[in-house]
């Protein structure tokens, strides 16, 4: 079976820093993958290359048969908007928009009418137990609530892949667990593929597979899933 995401021979340097030094990786559709490894080992750069945010110096990434690394920035940008969702350590919600308006942004960018987008956004808030927070500004939310809003915003377009870079890294352990469980329920329920960077072994334990990045390479035992 061909992997949904297939990376071959990824290399990326920033000046004299070799962030990725030859990564081959296959991820199946619907798989939940935890990416672990020391700080500075190349985890975020790998995620950015898989998502077409950053182009590798050499190597290829394909997602669903589309060779992402062969696309122009305009086409990669469209792919990110329509096929991928992103969650970061700090939700990066727009501070002047309410929770529900933050969630509508990707739908409005995709051309949906505001009324329809609001209905969809309220649906996601309900599912995440955040109905009462709809009209609050990000600054009025707890850290865990803000991350759940960020997750709703990332999933509202029903992406095929959710990329999460330390999505619970800024939360205490109880809030982190709640956010993680909510995110996993949504991705597993919809068959969304999740690529999640985490430092926390307990978080990684929720994944189908853990991969470890060290010095820009995958730890030897992780070279499974290469088609």
- Residue ranges in contact with ligand ADP by CB under 6 A: 14, 17, 19, 37, 39-45
Binding residues (CB under 5 A) for Mg ion: these are: 43-44
Which is closer to ligand ADP, CB of 125 or CB of 195? 195
Which is closer to ligand ADP, CB of 8 or CB of 48? 48
At closest approach, how far in Å is the CB of 19 from Mg ion?
A: 10
Which is closer to ligand ADP, CB of 59 or CB of 106? 59
Contacts by residues 18-22 (CB-CB < 8 Å, ≥ 24 positions apart): 18/216, 19/45, 19/216, 20/45, 20/46, 20/49, 20/56, 20/59, 20/216, 20/217, 21/215, 21/216, 21/217, 22/59, 22/216, 22/217
Q: Residue 135 and residue 216: Cα distance in Å, rounded? A: 43
**From ligand ADP, Mg ion, none, interface partner of 119 (C-beta below 5 to 8 A by class):** none
At closest approach, how far in Å is the CB of 156 from Mg ion?
A: 25
Give CA separation, 5 vs 20, 102, 104, 191, 195, in Å. 17, 28, 27, 14, 10
At closest approach, how far in Å is the CB of 87 from ligand ADP?
A: 15
At closest approach, how far in Å is the CB of 181 from ligand ADP?
A: 24
Which is closer to ligand ADP, CB of 14 or CB of 90? 14
């Amino acid at each position: 079976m061909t992997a949904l995401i297939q990376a071959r021979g990824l290399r990326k340097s920033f000046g004299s820093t070799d962030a990725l030094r030859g990564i081959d990786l296959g991820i199946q559709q619907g798989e939940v993958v935890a990416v672990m490894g020391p700080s500075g080992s190349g985890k975020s750069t790998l995620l950015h290359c898989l998502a077409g945010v950053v182009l590798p110096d050499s190597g290829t990434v394909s997602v669903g048969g589309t060779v992402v690394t062969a696309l122009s920035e305009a086409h990669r940008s469209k792919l990110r908007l329509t096929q991928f969702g992103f969650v970061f350590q700090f939700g990066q919600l727009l501070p002047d928009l309410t929770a529900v308006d933050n969630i509508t942004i990707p739908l409005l960018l995709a051309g949906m009418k505001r009324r329809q987008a609001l209905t969809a956004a309220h649906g996601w808030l309900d599912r995440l137990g955040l109905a009462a927070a709809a009209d609050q500004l990000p600054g009025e939310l707890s850290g865990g609530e803000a991350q759940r809003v960020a997750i709703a915003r990332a999933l509202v377009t029903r992406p095929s892949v959710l990329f999460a870079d330390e999505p619970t890294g800024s939360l205490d352990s109880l809030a982190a667990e709640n956010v993680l469980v909510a995110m996993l329920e949504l991705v597993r329920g919809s068959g969304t593929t999740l690529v999640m960077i985490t430092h926390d072994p307990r978080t990684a334990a929720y994944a189908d597979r853990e991969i470890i990045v060290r010095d820009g390479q995958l730890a030897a035992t992780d070279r499974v899933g290469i088609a």
